[in-house]
Amino acid sequence: MESNHEQCVAVIGGGPAGLMAAEVMAAAGVRVAVYDAMPSVGRKFLLAGRGGMNITHAEPYEQFMARYGSRAGVLRPMLDAFTPDDLRGWVHGLGIDTFVGTSGRVFPTEMKAAPMLRAWLHRLRESGVHFHQRHRWLGLTGDGALRIAAPDGEHIVRPAATVLALGGASWARLGSDGAWQTLLAQHGVEVAPLVPANCGFDARWSEHFSAKYAGQPLTTVAIGARKGQLVITASGVEGSLIYAVSAGIRDRIAAEGRATIELDLLPDWPLERLQQELSHPRGSRSMSSFLQSRVNIKGVKIGLLHEVLDKEAFHDPLRVAATLKALPVILHAPRPIDEAISSAGGVRFEALQGTMLKALPGTFVAGEMLDWEAPTGGYLLTACFASGLAAGRDVLRYLVNPAHAA
């Protein structure tokens, strides 16, 4: 079945990047059709907001930009054009109020993603955007048309331009399975391998420790100068603190086969004070009881000490004090990419002119398909929105003058 939409732009993927591109183009009077493989759009967006929809961050802009690491330079034009303040204003335009939390993270007042998505989809439909659910992109025909698998069979679609916003490769059950990597590579598009980001790691705990403490939180701990929380899993560690430093750990494991982090289990205690407290006579008390009474170390933190100290060292107050401030945990592998919050890698920026693929003129890319990564805290979502806006604007320029798209 063939559809000829010479004046229509196809958006493949109904996440934040694809929907933002659709909005920009529809606002300019362009006919837009959004294709999504799932029964409804925005599924990953909704799941990400289940525990509180963190849309962006309110820290100073230069500090915000630094969160994108080595990709800050190439992302900067997109984010300058759609800053965190612009994103908040856009959310307000949907009739959704926002507030800044104590950590600087920005949330909708209701803390949920669903009201925002409902309001946005209503506005998009009112502007003429057409949605096609259960329509999966299969790649391109020999002459560059889109192959779309639909419930009633395969469709061949010939849009005036295409925006690809298919996500990375985390949470495949929600639609972002990374299958597009092979499809684009077949056309000479350079793609950096997708790897897990904002992910947990395997630590090879002892069976005793894993059975006793899996699922237990480690509150108020630190890695270097960064404080936060971790969760012990049956295989290793996960949680916001490890996600914040996951890129460096992942890359070190790739280069060296493993990485060692040092956990500060008492970040608010200087080592000297800790040594003084633990130098008091223990008497007949067990070391575990002594640690709990003097410095409130108990439960999973005691378990961690037993994981890294032998019996003699565990009864040496100075060794224990030093270990509480720098407890080594050897990490052997990131968890599988499908368990990760996001992925790194993707279409290399060198393969693009603006957001258009050099190898496929008229095809644009946005969101997590691009080769960048960022920690959680609103940074991922902000860059997805910003890249979608950039792609939409690039398409508009392309439609006016294909030779000068970006």
Q: What CATH number does the domain containing 382 carry?
A: 3.50.50.60
Question: Within this chain, do residues 248 and 262 fall inside the same structural domain, yes or no?
Answer: yes
Q: Which domain holds residue 192?
A: 2-196+343-404
Average pLDDT over residues 376-398: 95
What does the block give as tokens for 18?
A: 């694809």
Residue 1's pLDDT is 54
Q: What confidence category does residue 5 fall into, taking pLDDT thresholds of 50, 70 and 90?
A: very low
* pLDDT at 156 exceeding the cut of 60: yes
Among 334, 356, 376, identify where a domain stops: 334
For residues 62-82, average pLDDT = 96
User: What six digits make up the tokens of 194?
Assistant: 């997708």
pLDDT for the residue numbered 403:
73
402, pLDDT greater than 90: no
Same domain, 235 and 317: yes
Q: Are residues 11 and 96 in the same domain?
A: yes
Q: Are residues 268 and 358 in the same domain?
A: no
Domain edge (last residue) among 315, 334, 353:
334
Please choose, from the candidates 86, 126, 78, 124, the residue with its C-alpha nearest in 3D space to the C-alpha of residue 106: 86
Give yes or no: residues 181 and 216 share one domain: no
The residue whose two tokens read 């080592």 is 271
3-state secondary structure the chain: CEEEEEEEEEEECCCHHHHHHHHHHHHCCCEEEEEECCCCCCHHHHHHCCCCCCCEECCCHHHHHHCCHHHHHHHHHHHHHCCHHHHHHHHHHCCCCEEECCCCEEEECCCCCHHHHHHHHHHHHHCCCEEEECCEEEEECCCCCEEEEECCEEEEEEEEEEEECCCCCCCHHHCCCCCHHHHHHCCCCCEEEEEEECCCEECCCCHHHHHHHCCCEEEEEEECCEEEEEEECCCEEECHHHHHCHHHHHHHHHHHCCEEEEEECCCCCCHHHHHHHHCCCCCCCCHHHHHHHHHCCCCHHHHHHHHHCCHHHHCCHHHHHHHHHCEEEEECEECCHHHCCEEEEEECHHHEECCEECCCCCEEECHHHECCCCCCCCHHHHHHHHHHHHHHHHHHHHHHCHHHCC
Residues 146 and 224 in one domain: no
Looking at the fold, whether 205 and 128 belong to one and the same domain comes out as no
Q: 147 and 239 share a domain?
A: no
Q: Report how many domains make up the chain.
A: 2
* Residues 243 and 228 sit within 8 Å (Cβ to Cβ): no
Residue 171 has pLDDT above 90, yes or no: no
Q: Same domain for 188 and 210?
A: no
Q: What is the mean pLDDT of residues 75-87?
A: 98
What is the tens place of the pLDDT at every residue in 18-48? 999 999 999 999 999 999 999 999 888 887 7
Domain shared by 175 and 95, yes or no: yes
Mean pLDDT taken over the chain: 93
Which pLDDT does position 172 carry in this prediction?
Answer: 75
Rounded Cα distance, 213 and 226, in Å: 23
- pLDDT number for residue 404: 60
pLDDT of residue 49: 62
Record the pTM: 0.89
Residues 299 and 349 in one domain: no
pLDDT band at 62 (very low <50, low <70, confident <90, very high): very high
Please say which residue of 313, 334, 355 terminates a domain.
Answer: 334
Question: Do 127 and 206 fall within a single domain?
Answer: no
Mean pLDDT, residues 267-282 taken together: 92
